[in-house]
């Protein structure tokens, strides 16, 4: 067995079925080995998108998402997607071709030190050789899925693919056993004394599928719950405890919920999305997490590190009979927010477009969202109804995420309606992946909110009383045609044409773009200044 065959077989055994990327000459034997092992190589238009697709594949499957890039510019391109896997907490293995030992430290075309490049972007980086291939693969597969999940980089020296792998059996050490030193007495004391606790649920809880346990807990302890953007969907929006999404549109209304609290309970809360000190009132904080992490330097902060089962077992120390439930204020805040959103549906803006999408799309739709003003509205206004999903980047927050993410969802969840909602700025960054959708016949619906500007940057200029400058993307129509790279473009500039475009897109069963020319005025009133 060659090294390329060994790597391919190990990946297949670990559940890997796709490798995303762009090939280079030295990687061709690896790609052939992937094909022979039953792993499909997905050709992307940009290596950064390959990283995003590996990230989203890892999120959805819990198994390593895998991507590949060649020397130098391929590696720097893919690094953007790998940063997303790191800060959005996704298990990924990224392979890059590297110079052989003879040329590694020479001045030569496309040559940079990949280990130094990927060191700050990954949990670990390795350079493969015939003696360490078994250890490297074993460590990479383990490390990328351990808490927090994240990317691992493996450099593949040119010429190594065809070297024979020794007949060696490696015994995996398995997951590391970590002893947690928790101040359980201090936590129990805070829980027993609390009368008005508020729970803040985050990315780690969502990744560990804690939704069902959360709902069962709330049956007995009817606490108000605020969530971070990447936990969207963990608790249905019509649940009596659901208050809203921190840091997204109209989130200043949530102050009426948590400012009354005498204790904040962070449940799987990851500060990579939104730091506690950006919103928490001056009350004690109990932070339940899977690993020990940095916390703000404020009074009365205690961490509890363990599994979700252990979190909820500890939370049973709340005194249900003494709690003062604030669900009336939760209902009032949600009602006020909805009234404000509804007041922006008298013209064709982003709120109207989202309202029509929500009405016309199936309940189990998977939405991928790009970064921008529209994400702030989507995160707060969209309803997953306990069945759908919203996939976004909020730890890395890289524009251009939405389109490649939607392709990865379509590959990993065949038969489910997948819709990418993006601004025109984010779409333009990775528009070449429309060809990828067409090449693999992926029936994604790409809804582009076209307003001709980088609106979120424009808002920040306005907040600082700066001249509006450097944010205009184009004049007139974004596409100016009814086809883009061979994919149909449906124009929507009113409620009626938006509704017709969605229905037509759903009927086509092929990739399609909806060019939604929205009035960006909503954003000025709904996006919260930060």
Mean pLDDT throughout 227-251?
97
Q: What is the pLDDT of residue 167?
A: 56
Binned at pLDDT 50, 70 and 90, residue 174 comes out as low
Range of the domain at 16: 3-157
| Residue 248 DSSP class | S
pLDDT of 176 reads: 62
Question: Does some domain include residue 338?
Answer: no
pLDDT at 257: 94
What's the confidence (pLDDT) of residue 269?
98
109, 142, 157 — which closes off a domain?
Answer: 157
- pTM for this structure? 0.95
In terms of Cα–Cα distance, which of 324, 303, 325 is closest to 314? 303
Quick check: is 307 in a domain?
A: yes
Considering the domain boundaries, does residue 475 fall inside one? Answer: yes
Give yes or no: residues 293 and 350 share one domain: no
Together in a domain, 214 and 236:
yes
What's the CATH number where 445 sits? 3.40.50.970
Residue 205 predicted with pLDDT over 70: yes
**pLDDT tens digits, 209-221:** 999 999 999 999 9
**CATH code, 311:** 3.40.50.1220
Lowest-pLDDT range, 19-23, 323-327, 449-453?
323-327
Two tokens at 35? 């094909």
265 and 321 inside one domain: yes
Instruction: Count how many domains the chain has.
Output: 3
Query: In Å, how far are 110, 139, 144, 212, 351 from 37, measured between CA atoms?
Result: 30, 21, 21, 37, 47
> Closest by alpha carbon to 382, among 187, 491, 245?
245
Q: What is the DSSP string of 242-304?
A: EEEETTSTTGGGGHHHHTT-SEEEEES--TTTS-GGGT--SS-EEEEESS-----S-SSEEEE
Q: Categorize the per-residue pLDDT at 105 as very low, low, confident or very high, splitting at 50, 70 and 90.
A: confident
Q: Tokens in use for 466? A: 């700066």
Are 365 and 222 contained in the same domain? no
Token digits of residue 80: 């953007």
119 and 83 in a common domain: yes
């Amino acid at each position: 067995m060659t090294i390329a065959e060994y790597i391919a077989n190990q990946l297949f055994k670990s559940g890997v079925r796709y490798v995303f990327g762009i090939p280079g000459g030295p990687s061709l034997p690896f790609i052939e080995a992937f094909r022979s092992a039953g792993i499909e190589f997905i050709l992307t238009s940009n290596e950064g998108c390959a990283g995003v697709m590996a990230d989203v594949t890892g999120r959805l499957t819990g198994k390593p998402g895998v991507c590949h890039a060649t020397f130098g510019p391929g590696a720097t391109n893919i690094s953007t997607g790998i940063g997303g896997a790191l800060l959005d907490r996704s298990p990924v293995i990224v392979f890059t071709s590297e110079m052989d030992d003879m040329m590694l430290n020479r001045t030569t075309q496309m040559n940079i030190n990949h280990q130094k490049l990927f060191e700050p972007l990954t949990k670990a980086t390795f350079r493969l050789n015939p003696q360490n291939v078994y250890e490297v693969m074993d460590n990479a597969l383990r490390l990328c899925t351990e808490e927090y999940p994240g990317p691992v980089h493996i450099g593949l020296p040119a010429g190594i693919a065809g070297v024979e792998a020794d007949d060696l059996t490696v015994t995996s050490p398995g997951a590391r056993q970590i002893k947690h030193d928790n101040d359980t007495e201090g936590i129990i004391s805070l829980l027993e004394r609390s009368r008005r606790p508020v729970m803040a649920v985050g990315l780690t809880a969502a990744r560990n599928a804690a939704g069902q346990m959360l709902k069962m807990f709330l049956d007995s302890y009817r606490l108000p719950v605020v969530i971070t953007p990447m936990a969207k969907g963990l608790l249905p929006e019509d649940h009596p405890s659901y208050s809203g999404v921190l840091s997204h549109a109209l989130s200043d209304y949530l102050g009426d919920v948590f400012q009354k609290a005498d204790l904040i309970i962070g449940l799987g809360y990851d500060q990579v999305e939104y730091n506690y000190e950006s919103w928490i009132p001056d009350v004690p904080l109990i932070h339940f997490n899977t690993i020990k992490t940095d916390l703000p330097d404020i009074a009365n902060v205690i961490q509890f590190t363990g599994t979700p089962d252990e979190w909820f077992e500890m939370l049973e120390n709340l005194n249900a009979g003494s709690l003062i439930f604030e669900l009336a204020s939760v209902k009032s805040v949600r009602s006020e927010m909805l009234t404000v959103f509804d007041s922006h549906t008298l013209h064709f803006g982003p709120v109207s477009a989202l309202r029509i999408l929500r009405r016309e799309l199936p309940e189990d739709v998977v939405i991928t969202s790009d970064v921008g003003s529209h994400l702030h509205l989507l995160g707060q206004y969209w309803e997953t109804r306990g069945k759908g999903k919203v996939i976004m980047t909020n730890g890395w927050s890289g524009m251009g995420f939405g389109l490649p993410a939607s392709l990865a969802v379509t590959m990993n969840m065949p038969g489910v309606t997948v819709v990418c909602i993006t601004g025109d700025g984010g779409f333009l960054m990775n528009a070449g992946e429309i060809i990828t959708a067409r090449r693999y016949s992926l029936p994604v619906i790409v809804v582009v909110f076209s307003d001709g500007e980088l609106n979120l940057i424009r808002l920040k200029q306005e907040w600082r009383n700066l001249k509006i400058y450097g944010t205009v993307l184009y004049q007139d129509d974004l596409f100016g045609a009814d086809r883009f790279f061979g994919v149909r473009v449906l124009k929507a500039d009113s409620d009626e044409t938006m509704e017709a475009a969605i229905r037509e897109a759903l009927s086509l069963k092929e990739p399609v773009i909806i060019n939604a020319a929205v009035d960006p005025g909503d954003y000025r009133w709904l996006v919260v200044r930060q």
